[in-house]
Amino acid sequence: MIMLMPSRPHQRLAILGSTGSIGTQTLDIVDQHPNEFSVKVLTANGSMELLEKQVHQYRPEAVCLVDETKADALKKKMKGSVHVLSGYAGLNEAARWENADTIVQALVGNIGMKPTIEAIHARKKIALANKETLVSAGAVVMPLVKKHHIDLTPIDSEHSAIFQCLKGENVNEVTRLIITCSGGPFRGKTLNQLEGVTREQALNHPTWKMGGKITIDSATLMNKGFEVNEAMWLYDIPAEKIDVVVHPQSIIHSMVEFTDGSIMAQVGHHDMRIPIQYALTHPSHIKLNVPPFDFVKAKQFTFEQPDVKTFDCLQMGLDAAREKGTVCCVLNAANDTCVESFLKNEIEFLDIQRTIREVVSRHKNNKHPSFEDVLHADAWARKEAQKIMRELKTKRK
């Protein structure tokens, strides 16, 4: 008997962060499936030119530029042909836009927290790339997701892998999540060797092509620390049951171990369009123009223990996942601040982990924070990180 699959409903997208790496790859998926998706809202931080091009191509109802001066300029140019929103308030409005039913949340850093909460309250389906939202505010966001029965699906490749391995399984039978890690561009380096590495070296990721901030987080291994937190919140699995293993080929995207010792793995090209598309179309896998995976060419998969002594950011991420509370947000906000400074060549690579370690050590953890407590911790950590970075500079003079 031939089973005909029911067709999926057409999805009207709001892409928050449409000019970034995840945003542009989402639009590539839209191009491949014009019957599946249409674009209702696009937002960008300050990339006005690219946003303008996207407006002409996708004809959304609304756009938002967080940079208010640029939003004003765009408004003048558009002459009312598209609704132009601005600032953080504009992002929140974009997240609850009435004519969009699915939000692709691809913002960078803690600024994603509020729009995610807005999207939940507006009962949107959420494809989440912005892991910082769960790291900082998982304790606030996940109860809301459950309460309102929101379909919140990760875009992060490791979490998409776990999501796929858990399909149809009983989470009570899971003994361990095994998150794989490429090791980043500095795998195998000692602390001494990391002194003075440049921004360009840190931005040169061996396997994944991503935006600047996440590429630096991958070089410090903070990204992996965040991903343990993200998995803990998404799958309600204690941090103690989540392992990290270095797998330099980035072909096994993550694994789930069950009580009988059986291990499920999700494997494939390191192409972010695969998890982006699956977050939108699950439980269906639909066509995507990727070449077949060649196991013979790949030759071998190898594994190593992560070096948490050299890469202190991973250790801090693991500690935060075990502790929970405002320390997770502090870690995230301090990291946001330090990575921004590193990308502007204001601090050295190792200053990132030194500064964050100091901010975390000065913080008094609140184990059960409200959203206001999280926002307060966020602002405190940013100020503190700035102060410590200044202190480090003065000491060196």
- Give contact residues for Mg ion (rule: CB under 5 A): 156-158
Residue 380 half-sphere exposure toward CB, CA atoms < 13 A = 18
93 vs 156 by CB, closer to Mg ion = 156
The helix (run of H) or strand (run of E) holding residue 152 is strand 152-154
CA-based angle 234:238:244, to the nearest 5?
85
Under DSSP, the state recorded for 128 is: E
Residue number of the CB closest to Mg ion reads: 156
60 vs 138 by CB, closer to Mg ion = 138
153 vs 157 by CB, closer to Mg ion = 157
Shortest Å, Cβ 227 to Mg ion:
6
φ/ψ region of 184 (left if φ > 0, alpha if ψ in -120 to 50, else beta) reads left
Shortest Å, Cβ 231 to Mg ion:
10
* C-alpha span between 178 and 84 (Å, rounded): 43
Shortest Å, Cβ 326 to Mg ion:
24
Shortest Å, Cβ 113 to Mg ion:
19
45 vs 215 by CB, closer to Mg ion = 215
Shortest Å, Cβ 290 to Mg ion:
18
Shortest Å, Cβ 133 to Mg ion:
14
156 vs 358 by CB, closer to Mg ion = 156
Strand partners, 102: 13, 125
Shortest Å, Cβ 22 to Mg ion:
11
User: Where does the chain have alpha helices with state H?
Assistant: 21-32, 48-58, 68-78, 87-95, 113-121, 132-147, 157-165, 191-194, 199-202, 212-220, 222-235, 273-281, 295-298, 312-323, 326-343, 349-362, 371-396
Pairing of strands 174-181, 252-258: antiparallel
Residues near 354 by Cβ (< 8 Å), separated by ≥ 6? 392
| Residue reference for tokens 């836009």 | 97
158 vs 348 by CB, closer to Mg ion = 158
156 vs 384 by CB, closer to Mg ion = 156
